[in-house]
Structure formats: C-alpha cells, structure tokens
A = this chain, B = another copy of it.
Amino acid sequence: MRPQIVLFGDSITQQSFRSGGWGAALADIYSRKVDVVLRGYGGYNTRWALLMLNQIFPLEPELYFQVCSCQHQTGSAKPPVAVTIFFGANDAARLEGTGKRQHVPVEEYKDNLRKIVQHIKSGSPNTLVILITPPPIDVEGRREYARSLYGDKASETPDRTNEATGVYAKQCVTLANELGLPSVDVWSKMQETEGWQKKFLSDGLHLTPEGNAVVFSEVVKIFDEAGFSDLPYDFPPNSEIDAEHPEKAFLQHCPAV
C-alpha cells in the first residue's frame, strides 16, 4: 500500500482526471510514489458529503474492512497522507435558481467543512488537509451554457452568482485559518487574471485545462512545502538496477514512509 492522497469534492474534483485535469496531473507527478484517489461527486454539497465520511475515511483500522449488508467493502487500508476538500460550488447555488436543491446556507457550509476536517483529523491527526474554495462564477458563461442546452427554454435566473460564491470562498479560507490548515483560494486567485471568465471556466463554473492548471499549481505548492516531492520511489529507478544482478537493487530499496 503506497501513501495515498484523497481528492474529496464535487464535480470539479470528479472531472479532475479529464484531459489537462488537476487530479491526473497530481497522479502523474507522483506516479512512482503516491496513489491519488479520486473521490469526486458531481452535484454534491457539504451536507451530502457528511453522509459519506465514515465510508470514505473510516476512523478505526477494523472499519477498513467493514462490509455493508450487501457485502460491499468500503474504506481504505491506511489513512491518507493528504486530503483535498473542494466543496462549495453547489452549496452556494441560489435558492432562487435551478440549483436550489443543492443550496446549503453559508454558516452550515462552514460548519460542515469543519466536521469533515475534524472527522479526518480525529482518525489521523498527521494527515495534511487542504481546503479549496469554489472557483469564481461567470454568470454570462452559465447563461450561454444553459442556452446551448435548452435554447429559449433556458432559465434566465442565474443558478449561481459570483458574489454569493465569494462569500462561501471567504468562509472556507477563514475556517482554514481558524484550524491552522493550508488553503487554496481559487475564487480570488483566478480573478487576478484578466479574462478569467473564459480562460479558466468552460461553462461559467467548471474548469478549462488552464483553470485546472491553476488549481494544480496551487495544490502542488502546498505539497512541495510538506516535502512530498522528496517521497521515495516505491521501487528502484531503472538507472539503479544492475542488469546482471537486478534483485540487488530491489533488496536494497525499501522506502521508509
């Protein structure tokens, strides 16, 4: 079992292994060192995320092999070395729009995030937990996208606004500071770049490859500071293998994790 990084979030995490995605890019740079585990759930908010916590992050070693009534094994064999928590885009959906089912009030959003962090940390205090804010919203991009799907029947009422999402982003960063956790303020970071609306967002909400690159570089910065780039290979590099006695390199190579 190699060390694991779990990416826990909504569709922006679920889609992170598409071409140019930030999750796939993490899996690539840690390809010989760490397993990047995808736990992205399209459409989910933090309220629903709480309902999965015990299964995705089991607290007791014996729970790793808990089998539910239909024999579905859940959990993982070892707590992850790091978790990214990337919710808020759906919590911030407006009560007035098509995403009202997904709306979670901002105080509850912050409280749910705190519960997720506390759950993970209670099972494994050394796990590096990173909070990621939702990306900014381009209302016009959302509208164009809705029209491309539904034509004249597209709702004219925005499902999300940039201002509302910004309030959630702020609370996410505030919570990270309160808990002493690193955070990535994607909402602010993206808006530093002119033309962020089309450059970083494909439909006013989800990420283009350039938008994925922003998330990737910010997350990797934190992993680098935590020394992840120094993690050992699971097996010896090709160059260390003596073609005459290949077993030697394997016997000598036993990474301390």
Task: Give A residues with C-beta under 8 Å from B.
Answer: 1, 14-15, 17-21, 23-25, 27-28, 31-32, 35, 37-38, 40-44, 47-48, 51-52, 64-65, 68-78, 100-102, 209, 235, 237-239, 241, 243, 246-247, 250, 254-257
Contact = CB atoms under 8 A, between A and B. Distances in A.
A69 B253 CA distance: 11
Contacts of A71: 256-257
Given A51-B246, A72-B255, A255-B70, A15 B41 contact: no
How many copies of this protein are present in the complex? 2
A28 B24 CA distance: 9
Given A17-B27, A48-B246, A102-B243, 8 more contacts: A23-B27, A32-B41, A35-B37, A35-B38, A42-B237, A52-B235, A52-B250, A72-B254
A27 B24 contact: yes
Contacts of A18: 24, 28
Nearest to A37: B35
A73 B257 contact: yes
Nearest to A20: B19
A27 B38 contact: yes
Contact of A21 (B28, B77, B235): B28
Contacts of A101: 241, 243
13 contacts: A1-B76, A15-B28, A17-B24, A18-B24, A41-B238, A48-B250, A51-B250, A52-B235, A70-B254, A71-B257, A72-B256, A73-B78, A76-B77
